[in-house]
Structures are given as structure tokens and as C-alpha cells.
Chain A
Amino acid sequence: MMSNTSFWRASAAWMIGLAVVFGVLPLVTSSYQMSVATEILIFALLAMSIDLLAGFAGRTSLGHGAIFGVATYVVIYWTSTLGGSPWLALALGIVAATLTAAVFGLFAVRAGGVYFLLITLALGMIVWGVCLRWTSVTGGENGLRGVGRPAIVADPTMFYYATLATVLVFTFVIWRFANSPFGLSLRGIRDSESRMRSLGYATATHMLIAFTFTGFIAGVAGALYALFNNFVSPSTVQLSQSVEGLLMAIIGGVGTLFGAFIGSAAIILLENFVSEYTARWPMILGFMFIGTMIFAPQGILGALRELFRRRRS
């Protein structure tokens, strides 16, 4: 186990490293590649929200894609159908996602393991069903078209930096949350719920707060996505969104937080690369899942940390 100061130093190094690497990207890439980078950042935030819950609270969710998409829908609905202010839209989107997460949480917190997975899956499907059938509001199958970004972030480079700033800020927020006393108690619950309960912790309430917080983060990502994509449809809330987010968290390394960036970059870049040569991306994604589960369930960053730990001792 790393000492406290080296842990802080390592985390600080990560944050600075990310800021630098992503910060100089626009100088060396084309505008298309920059938009891919923007997407990587947005999904890294989603993956982080899933990782926080899975890695620190020990609960794997298949519903965060739906929560993410709820924010996207609200943002686009507010600006496009209702013609409202984009800033208010972002706020409302995030609030809506957080509320959705709270509702999901109420259903899910007393369950664990596979059952938690299944409840969140079912709830996500309900959200998807609503988005698909409530045509008058959500546009049904056709989805809703956005009205473009507000002037300050209309330029792709400006939007990229705005996204980067937002993602870095919230990464810091998540990191503080995970390493706070509350975060530690979550880890305690993950390791042994019964012991925590006997120590007097209201484990269900803790879980609910954790779930709602991760929903809030997913909502921020979803709101950014609305500005990025300028379009939303039921595919934004469908199961595969949650599955890909989970895969990103796993590949990066569950419980590592920063691994989410690696996972997001890995999946998005690979998909871009692979689909230029073949239509068999789903099969490759499937093999990645299988391979990761068998050979590297701790993910890339997790494996690296194992390596360092072993070298150290």
C-alpha cells in the first residue's frame, strides 16, 4: 500500500498529466480528431461514474447509460422543443439525471451483486421504453434534433477546451468524493456490508447517496453530450450505452478512476479504427469483453498498478 503522500502525489501527477496531454491535443490534431477527443472526454466522465460505483461501492450498474441519456434528452428538449436557454437546459438536464438516479437507487440499493445488475438493467430498459413510446415529447424513434451550441462554445476548439475543463473539474470532484471519509465508508461496505452495518452505518442510505452522486456525474456527461451531438434518440439511452460505459470502466481498471480515460480512449479509438476496415466491430467488442474478463479483469491501469506493487515488494 502506497504511503499517503505518494498517493496524493500520484493522483496529482495523473490530473496534471491528463490536463497537459489533452490540453495540447488541438495543436497537433485535425478538427475531426479533436471532435473524437471531445467524445473520449465525455465518455470518460460516464465511465468514471460507473467506476466510482463499481470500484468503490462494489455495485456494478447497467443503468448509467440511461441516466446519461436522460440528461441529453432534457437538454435538447428544453432548447429545441421549448426554445429555452441553453444554460438553464444544462442545469435541468443534470437535475433530471440526478433525480432519475435517485429513483433507480431507491429500487436498487438493497440488492447486491448480480441482482443489482439486473435491477439497473430493468430500470434502464424502462427509461428506454418511455423514450421510445412517448413520441409527443421524445420524438419516439426519430428522436429530437438540437439547435446547435451557444455562441461561446460554437467553435469546435472552444467547445473542446470547455469540455476538457468541465471533465477535469468533475474528475477532481469525484476523486475528492472517493477519498473522503464517505468514500472510505463505501469501500467498507463493498468489502463487508454486514460488518459495516454492525458498526452502525446505515448502509442502504450510503448506497443511495453514492448512486445518486454517480448519477449526477453521468448527468453532467449526458448534458455535455447533448451539446456535442446536437441530437438525441432512444439509442442514447439504450442498454448498449450502459454496456459500453461499463466496458470502458473495466478496461481502464475498475476502482482506478483515471483508468476511465484509458478505457474510453481505447474503445472509441479502436471502434473508429476497426470500422474503417470491417463491419465486424460488435464481434471484436465481444472478444474484448471475453478477453478482459479472463485475462485482465483489473483492466489496464489495474494491471499496471499490480505490476508496480509487485516490483516494489
Chain B
Amino acid sequence: MGSLNLVQLLNGLTFAALLFIVASGFTLIFGLLRVVNLTHGALYLFGGYIGYSVALATGSFTLGALAAMVSVALLGIVLDQGLLRFVRRYELREVLLTLGVAFVLNDLALVIWGGDTFSIPVPEALRGATQIFGSYYPKYRLFVLILGILVFVGLWLLLNYTRLGALIRAGVDDAEMVEAMGINIRRVFLATFMLGSSLAGLGGMVGGAFLTLYPTADAEILVFSLAVVIIGGSGSLPGAAIGALLVGLLNTVGQVMFPELAYFVVFGPMAAILAFRPLGLFGKAA
């Protein structure tokens, strides 16, 4: 049994930041394309592994992160154009197809990288701990927190101040109308899919440095992302942020104060919201 203090609070917040980065991609795809992309977790892991290999080869964390984002965006294109197009509009088939792809990617990763656990090397400047209000805290985790905020700001600017963002928002509200206005909604969908996937890849790289990469990381992050998006509401950025904060903090609180019930603390609220407010806190009706 432990007490909550600044360190634990920061733990919850930094984990929430990572969850936000990953879940924001998930919620965009769910909100706009109405696809529950169960491959999202595998994209996180695959992206992380690719970023790891690139970072190891080039010695640069940034290059690794870029490689992760780009490669996973490409995987996203393959997934969307190559597979999902055959089951468009059939919600359940889409979901189950993405589940199948998740299995394949997970096993493929096992073949390529093996089952060892990898820790992505943190750039020199972010190693070690720093003092915050009297407690020591790892610099890298603070970086993750800041990055999460930056991603939020970046996405918010994208959604509210760019044409693409406007199209996405309109599409989340009413995809048919956007199409009726003569806009090639397919291109918007594709762009969103790529964006969402690349966020998963970025998450894998960033998360891989403090949570490490290992064969079941994909299922774990997927389940958390699901919880975040369900609690926050699909297609909503503030929803994803609030959802991530809730899940991240609840998870940490649960582990510290109620270790026996750790899962319940996260999935209980998720099930409750699904039952009583299925659209989540900020979700909009289809």
C-alpha cells in the first residue's frame, strides 16, 4: 500500500500522455471512418520495433521516430486500401478483419525481431533524473508529458485551422453530406487513416523507451486505447485527452492503492460508460 504523492501523480500524467498519443490516432479513425481498428496496437508495436532498429542503426532517436511514423503510415495505407476496401460499410467485418491483421503483424514481429524485450535508447540529453519540488523524476518521462501536450496542440490546430481538419470534423459529423458536397471523402479518409496510424507508430517509439517493446505490448496498449476512446467518446480530441487522463490516473491509482483491483479500476468505468452513455463523455451520435 502506498501513498499518493507528486511522483505518483506524475506517473499517472506521463502514462496518460503516452495513452493520448496512441488513442488520439485511434479515435480519429473510429470517429471518421467508423472503423474500430483493432490493428492499432500491433501498429504501435511494429512502429516501435522499426523505430528501434533504425535508432540502433543510425544512433538517432529522432530518425527512429520518423521512421516509425512513416513506416506505420504506409502499413496503414496497405491496410486501408489493400484489405479494408473489400469490407467497407460492414462494420463487424471491418473490426474482425483488423483483428486478423493484428494477429498476423504480431506474429510477424515475433519472427523478425524475436521475443526479446527491447528498450529504445533514450537520447543523451533526456537520460537520468531531475529534481522537481524535492522529488527525483526521470527526465524522459517529463519529455513524454510535454510531447503529449504538443501532440494535442498540434492536432487541435490541425482540426480547427486547416482545410483537412475542417473536412475531418465535418466528416465525423456527417460523412455523407461531405461527399454530397463534391469532396472526395475517400482521400480524406485515407489521410486520416495515415495520420491515425502514424500516431500509433510515434507512440510505439516513445513508449518503447520507457515501457519497452515485447510480444504482448500490442494487446495491452490496444485495450487501454479502447478504454480511452470509449470513455472519452469517438472522434473527439478533447474526449481522447480527458479519457487518457482518466485512464492513466486511474491505472496508477489502482496500482498503488488497490493493487488487487487494478483491472477493475480501469475496465469498470469503461463498461459502465458503454452501458449508460455509450457515446462516451464527448462523443457525438452517428
Q: Is the CB of B92 within 8 A of A117?
A: yes
Whole-angstrom distance between the Cβ of B213 and the nearest chain A Cβ: 18
Whole-angstrom distance between the Cβ of A170 and the nearest chain B Cβ: 26
Q: Which of A124-141 contact B (CB under 8 A)?
A: 125-126, 128-130, 132-134
Q: Is the CB of B104 within 8 A of A118?
A: no
Whole-angstrom distance between the Cβ of B108 and the nearest chain A Cβ: 7
Q: Given A113-B91, A294-B97: A289 and B267 within 8 A (CB)?
A: no
Give the residues in chain B near A293, CB-CB below 8 Å: 86-87, 93, 96-97, 100
Whole-angstrom distance between the Cβ of B217 and the nearest chain A Cβ: 15
Contact of B96 among A111, A134, A250 (CB under 8 A): A250
> Smallest CB-CB separation from B99: which chain A residue?
A289
Stretch at the interface among A43-51, A146-154, A279-287: A279-287
Q: Is the CB of A107 within 8 A of B264?
A: no
Q: Which of B92-107 contact A (CB under 8 A)?
A: 92-93, 95-97, 99-107
Interface residue count for B (Cβ, 8 Å)? 39
Chain A window 267-306, contacts with chain B (Cβ cutoff 8 Å), 1 for yes, 0 for no = 0000000000000101101111110011001000000000
Q: Which of A159-196 contact B (CB under 8 A)?
A: none
Is the C-beta of B262 less than 8 angstroms from some C-beta in chain A?
Answer: yes
Q: Given A118-B226, A282-B107: A129 and B267 within 8 A (CB)?
A: yes
Is the C-beta of B36 less than 8 angstroms from some C-beta in chain A?
Answer: yes
Contact of B99 among A129, A130, A243 (CB under 8 A): A243
Chain B window 32-46, contacts with chain A (Cβ cutoff 8 Å), 1 for yes, 0 for no = 000010000000000
Is the C-beta of A60 less than 8 angstroms from some C-beta in chain B?
Answer: yes
Q: Is the CB of B107 within 8 A of A286?
A: yes
Chain A window 235-266, contacts with chain B (Cβ cutoff 8 Å), 1 for yes, 0 for no = 00001000100100010000000000000000
Contact of A282 among B95, B96, B103 (CB under 8 A): B103
Is the C-beta of A14 less than 8 angstroms from some C-beta in chain B?
Answer: no
Give the residues in chain A near B111, CB-CB below 8 Å: 280
Q: Which of A106-124 contact B (CB under 8 A)?
A: 106-108, 110-111, 113-115, 117-119, 121-123
Give the residues in chain A near B268, CB-CB below 8 Å: 126
Is the C-beta of B151 less than 8 angstroms from some C-beta in chain A?
Answer: no
Whole-angstrom distance between the Cβ of B31 and the nearest chain A Cβ: 12
Q: Is the interface of A mostly helix, strand, loop or mixed?
A: helix
Is the C-beta of B138 less than 8 angstroms from some C-beta in chain A?
Answer: no
> Smallest CB-CB separation from B229: which chain A residue?
A118
Q: Is the CB of B96 within 8 A of A129?
A: no
Q: A285 CA to B111 CA in the complex, in Å?
A: 15
> Smallest CB-CB separation from B87: which chain A residue?
A293
Range, interface on chain A: 35 or more
Q: Given A129-B264, A130-B264: A118 and B274 within 8 A (CB)?
A: yes
Most buried by B among A60, A113, A246, A290: A290
Give the residues in chain A near B83, CB-CB below 8 Å: 290, 294
Q: A178 CA to B108 CA in the complex, in Å?
A: 41
Q: Is the CB of A286 within 8 A of B101?
A: yes
Give the residues in chain B near A126, CB-CB below 8 Å: 263-264, 267-268, 271
Give the residues in chain B near A289, CB-CB below 8 Å: 96-97, 99-100, 103
> Smallest CB-CB separation from B226: which chain A residue?
A118
Most buried by A among B93, B106, B274: B274
The 3 closest A-B pairs by CB, nearest first: A289-B100, A129-B263, A286-B103
Binding site for A on B (CB under 8 A): 36, 83, 86-87, 90-93, 95-97, 99-108, 111, 219, 223, 226-227, 230, 260-264, 267-268, 270-271, 274-275, 278
Given contacts A117-B92, A129-B267, 4 further A-B contacts (CB under 8 A): A118-B36, A122-B271, A250-B96, A297-B90
